[in-house]
Structure 1
């Protein structure tokens, strides 16, 4: 497909899927329960962390997680002590369990207390053309406290050739203001031009069929290739096409 017809085709699909109707079937509905910036950030980060597998299960477990945190995630994080661990006991989503969750809460508390919050870490480490180095540095900060080795697998590292799908999705939620009520755009100091597409089996397969991606594996190298293709279509807002690729794959079986 030539670039101009392809761009027009994808733009139509962005309009179709990047609207408020998208929210009701997507995990992004969870941070949309909140209005406080920090609540949105923390809820979004935790939900994105467990956003793999069956979407209904992701949403169900995310609601349960918010309930365990008293539906006030920022307050829960900032006041969390080991005495509160019972509130998290028994939580599990696939391989993410209550031990992992307890560390995540402690690490978030450390980030908001000693590092100026989640936005500050990514903003301080943003690169000239992407946020992949910022993700790598974020992981170092996130695991600077004593932790179980198993917990590290729940934060991906692009410098270890991961496409880092879930954290790139989270960054899309926080950075991109779509004026459609889906992505939040509450991180004002990071340009959407730096965002990378959340690359998974659905978006990857569609991208290959459309000639946007040739590499067969869904890894960091494939992400860089897809980023380059999408930035040719829209250099300022490349990840809006995530809605098109995801929608074509999941909802249309393209």
Structure 2
């Protein structure tokens, strides 16, 4: 496909799938249940963290976490008791993300929100940077601190060549702004031009079929290869093509 034909095709598909109906069957429906920014951030980050496997299963597990937090994530993070978190410790949450991990995340959120108004403060991108690679690593170091804990595996590191798919997806939800109402765009001080495509089996396979990437692994190097290709189509809003690539992959339309 020629460049302009491919851009038109992807623009059309991004418009088709970037629609409020998308919310109904996607994990993004979880943070859409809230209006308070901190509730959106916490529920969004937790949901993104467990976003692997079947989407219905992800949503069900995220609802379980909301129930435990009394459907008030921010209030629970700030005001939970030791008894509250002790009761979570042995609960099953989602696959390898268990009650111990959930407890760890709650405690880290408590510390962070006592020091910052928003998670946005921890994801700032410097002018010299071209994507969120270094910002994710700075966030990771802050969130995990120096202590060794089993939960570290649930926060991916681009420095270790992880695609960091779940964090990249969360960042799209928080940063990306448009008129369609799927993404929140509540972080006003970070430019969406730095966003990348969350690289998973769907976006990866379609990107290869369209010859946007040549690497066979879904890792950070491939994220950056896709960055280069996709920003040629739109360098101000590259992440909108996540809707096109993911939608084409899920529906098996292409």
> In which range does the TM-score fall when normalised by the shorter chain?
over 0.9
Give 1:242's aligned residue: 242
Matched, 1:82 2:91: no
Query: What's the offset of the Cα at 1:86?
Result: 4.2
Q: How does 1:166-245 map to 2 (within 5 A)?
A: 166-245=166-245
Query: What's the offset of the Cα at 1:230?
Result: 0.6
Which whole-Å deviations, capped at 9, do the CAs of 1:170-208 have from their partners, x for residues lacking one?
000000012101000000100110001100011000000
Which whole-Å deviations, capped at 9, do the CAs of 1:68-109 have from their partners, x for residues lacking one?
100000000011232212442413201000000000000011
Work out the CA distance in 2 between the residues paired with 1:137 and 1:40.
21
TM-score, structure 2 normalization: 0.96
Which whole-Å deviations, capped at 9, do the CAs of 1:90-144 have from their partners, x for residues lacking one?
1320100000000000001111112443110112667531111100111100011
Give 2:144's aligned residue: 143
Cα 1:124/1:109, change in 2 over 3 Å: farther
Query: What's the offset of the Cα at 1:252?
Result: 2.4
Cα 1:80/1:157, change in 2 over 3 Å: same
Give 2:71's aligned residue: 71
Does the 8 A contact of 1:126 with 1:134 survive in 2? no
Give 1:35's aligned residue: 35
Gap runs ≥5 in structure 2: none
Q: How does 1:98-117 map to 2 (within 5 A)?
A: 98-117=99-118
Does the 8 A contact of 1:127 with 1:133 survive in 2? no
Give 2:8's aligned residue: 8
Does the 8 A contact of 2:125 with 2:190 survive in 1? no
Cα 1:202/1:135, change in 2 over 3 Å: same
Work out the CA distance in 1 between the residues paired with 2:148 and 2:179.
39
Does the 8 A contact of 2:17 with 2:244 survive in 1? yes
Deviates more, 1:158-167 or 1:124-133: 124-133
Does the 8 A contact of 1:127 with 1:134 survive in 2? no
Give 1:91's aligned residue: 92
Work out the CA distance in 1 between the residues paired with 2:11 and 2:160.
32
Q: Aligned with 1:28: secondary structure?
A: helix
TM-score, structure 1 normalization: 0.96
Q: Aligned with 2:174: secondary structure?
A: helix
Work out the CA distance in 1 between the residues paired with 2:218 and 2:146.
30
Does the 8 A contact of 1:23 with 1:182 survive in 2? yes
Q: How many pairs were matched up? A: 253
Q: Aligned with 2:236: secondary structure?
A: coil
CA RMSD, 1 decimal: 1.4
